[in-house]
Amino acid sequence: MGVHRKTRNLELVLDAFRNTQEALSAHLLIERLPVDVNRSTVYRLLDRLEDDGVVHSFLASENIRFYALCKECNQSGHVHSHAHFQCTSCSQVVCLEQEVAVPTLNQYRVDEAQVLLKGQCATCMR
Amino acid sequence: MGVHRKTRNLELVLDAFRNTQEALSAHLLIERLPVDVNRSTVYRLLDRLEDDGVVHSFLASENIRFYALCKECNQSGHVHSHAHFQCTSCSQVVCLEQEVAVPTLNQYRVDEAQVLLKGQCATCMR
DNA sequence: TAACTAATGCGACTGTGTTGCAATAATGCA
DNA sequence: TGCATTATTGCAACACAGTCGCATTAGTTA
Ligand SMILES: [Mn+2]
Ligand SMILES: [Mn+2]
Ligand SMILES: [Zn+2]
Ligand SMILES: [Zn+2]
């Protein structure tokens, strides 16, 4: 898609994702950046990275979009249908290996299945 | 939970849900009420109805909470694990019969599975 | 009918995400 | 290296979902 100049902010954002197993909201991401980066800039970077198939995004609670690195996507389209998990105690979100089967329905053509599992993570269980 | 006085607004909200097969966002609901009802009031009514097991809610895109009547819930708790469908053309949202199986995971205790299917509804397909 | 208090409307607020615009900086090329 | 081009950035203002405190209104009960 868009041109990608190798800017400091872009590198910082990618580093943040590479340094964690978690999925990150824009807010969490900004907290973890070692320098201040403007909110708009972060959103724009995330949009661009998503267009380019570098990250994917999905909604978790409460009405917040989370982002994580893609494994096998590129600018020609996102191909994943894995589930996500959010801990109801610490709010941490992760991508799961679990592939999600897209079911067939009578009345509807289903293109996509979004699955968010909620419960407790290992850390919060003890 | 809370006391339920039989107010005009409460009746109007319940009627709106009874008169449709769709799930409704607060915004859609307000549009369909035959008289003006304040936004805060609508949100408070929806909260109360949800506490009482009369409606359930779930998130659809874009970051919007939808509400629909419950079939077998009451104030002692919500028991449903059905999927929801949202049409990507007309944005309409419906509850599906489809029960969702809550999977078991190694690292996490899963309490709940939220499934949102996206695609096209019958009307939008032709 | 009157007292009690739940429900309501209003305005202000929070938080996520978006946008127009002027300033800045990465890039490619002379 | 120096310069022109233009992508990227920061900022301020905005849109919109949802929440909250508070004064007013209106169900309910006696
Ligand atoms: Mn993921
Ligand atoms: Mn439902
Ligand atoms: Zn946790
Ligand atoms: Zn449709």
pLDDT in tens, A64-115: 999 999 887 666 667 778 999 999 999 999 999 878 888 888 889 999 999 9
Cα atoms found within 13 Å of the Cα of residue B65, Cβ hemisphere only: 14
Q: What is the pTM of this model?
A: 0.89
Q: Which residue is nearest to nucleotide C10 (CA to C1')?
A: B38
CA of A29 to C1' of D11 (A): 20
CATH of domain B8-125: 1.10.10.10
How many CB atoms are located within 10 Å of the residue B110 CB?
16
Chain B residue at shortest CA distance from A124: B108
Distance, in Å, from the CA atom of B78 to the CA atom of B67, rounded to the nearest integer, reads 13
Angle between helices B8-18 and B39-51 (to 10 degrees): 70
Work out whether the CA dihedral A33, A25, A41, A49 comes out positive or negative. Answer: positive
Contact A108, B120 (CB under 8 A): yes
Whether B111 has its CB under 8 Å from any CB of chain A: the answer is: yes
Inter-chain CB proximity B64 and A61 less than 8 Å: no
Residue A34 confidence (pLDDT) above 90: yes
What is the predicted pLDDT for the residue at B2?
Answer: 56
Asked if pLDDT for residue B17 goes beyond 90, the answer is yes
pLDDT tens digits along A46-61: 999 999 989 999 999 7
Residue A3 has pLDDT above 80, yes or no: no
A75-89, A110-124, B101-115: least confident range: A75-89
Q: Cα–Cα distances in Å, from B59 out to A108, B83, B110?
A: 19, 11, 18
- Alpha-helix residue ranges (DSSP H) falling in A1-126: 8-18, 26-32, 39-51, 122-125
CA A22 to chain centre: 9
Nearest C-alpha neighbor of B107 from the set A81, A125, A67, A70: A125
pLDDT at B3 over 90: no
Residues, Cβ < 5 Å to ion ligand 3: A 87, 89-90, 121, 124
- pLDDT category at A1 given cuts 50, 70, 90 is very low
Provide the chain B residues 82-101 that lie in CB contact (below 8 A) with chain A.
83, 85, 87-88, 96, 98
The answer to whether residue B21 scores a pLDDT higher than 70 is yes
pLDDT of residue B1: 46
Of A11-15, A57-61, B38-42, least confident by mean pLDDT is A57-61
Inspect the interface and report whether the beta carbons of A63 and B61 lie closer than 8 Å: no
Judge whether residue B78 has pLDDT over 50: yes
How many Å apart are CA A95 and CA A69, to the nearest integer? 9
